[in-house]
Structure 1
């Protein structure tokens, strides 16, 4: 082997080491991102497993033209009132009043507490659905009429 062959091998070896030095951090960064995403997915699944709600009743008052929805937090996760959605007859409700165990200034409802949602509506709904941020929901077609 002459000098040119040895020099070429040395150059290829150095180029291989430089390439490996650039590739290894990228692969490690990708592996870290995948691990982080897996942990996030696991934590999200645990939070959903620990979330449960019970739609206690839906009442329509024809005299006051109001609908009152009562939901209990039956899970072990504290839920945000703002992240709890209500649909009446498939329509998303945005204009609503909320109270947690009678307090209308509460932003969260802990396990065992009751959320009351009141809506002004001039027609009796046939169906109500309450959903939490994680997608846990409860629906009913049983609307009690009070006049």
Structure 2
């Protein structure tokens, strides 16, 4: 009987060690994931705080029904053109061409550079209704302006 008690205590001790090892691994992985997520959130917040954009012009050319929107990156963050969205009268527009400082092949929009969107907008009438454009950058910072009409 003495051996069976010792053997059962040894089995329970081994089970406790294995169980604690599994718990420790799972807890450590969870803490590491939460720490990484908090770090990523702080990085995203810093990018958002360092981002500033300004719509410097939004003009509808009535002679050919095209709209041209110019936006300046006033912040310290380099932005991606592909992650920048354009809305005209709350309509998401993907059919507009974009260029940074005259270059339509780049995807980088550096601080101080001007991004220009241009495309057709035949249904707009800024003379009879207020037409607004909104540009939203990748970090979520947005700028809004009213569209003016030009001949």
| Same fold, judged at TM 0.5 (above) | yes
SS of the residue 2:76 aligns to: coil
1:135 aligns with 140
Give 2:148's match in structure 1, choosing from 135, 144, 147: 144
SS of the residue 1:75 aligns to: coil
Aligned residues: 146
Give runs of aligned pairs for residues 109-128 of structure 1, distance below 5 A.
Answer: 109-122=109-122, 123-124=124-125, 126-128=131-133
1:62 aligns with 62
Q: CA deviation at 1:3?
A: 4.0
Q: CA deviation at 1:28?
A: 1.0
User: How far apart, CA to CA, are the structure 2 residues paired with 1:57 and 1:124?
Assistant: 17
Give runs of aligned pairs for residues 1-147 of structure 1, distance below 5 A.
Answer: 2-122=2-122, 123-124=124-125, 126-140=131-145, 142-147=146-151
User: How far apart, CA to CA, are the structure 2 residues paired with 1:13 and 1:98?
Assistant: 68
Residues 138 and 65 of structure 1, relative CA distance in 2, 3 Å threshold: same
Of 110-119 and 13-22, deviating more is 13-22
User: How far apart, CA to CA, are the structure 2 residues paired with 1:60 and 1:80?
Assistant: 25
Q: CA deviation at 1:139?
A: 1.1
Q: CA deviation at 1:108?
A: 1.3
Using structure 1 for the length normalisation, give the TM-score. Answer: 0.92
Query: Which 5+ residue runs of structure 1 have no aligned equivalent?
Result: none
User: How far apart, CA to CA, are the structure 1 residues paired with 2:9 and 2:98?
Assistant: 75
User: How far apart, CA to CA, are the structure 2 residues paired with 1:100 and 1:14?
Assistant: 66
Q: CA deviation at 1:104?
A: 2.3
Using structure 2 for the length normalisation, give the TM-score. Answer: 0.89
CA RMSD of aligned residues (A): 1.5
Q: CA deviation at 1:133?
A: 1.3
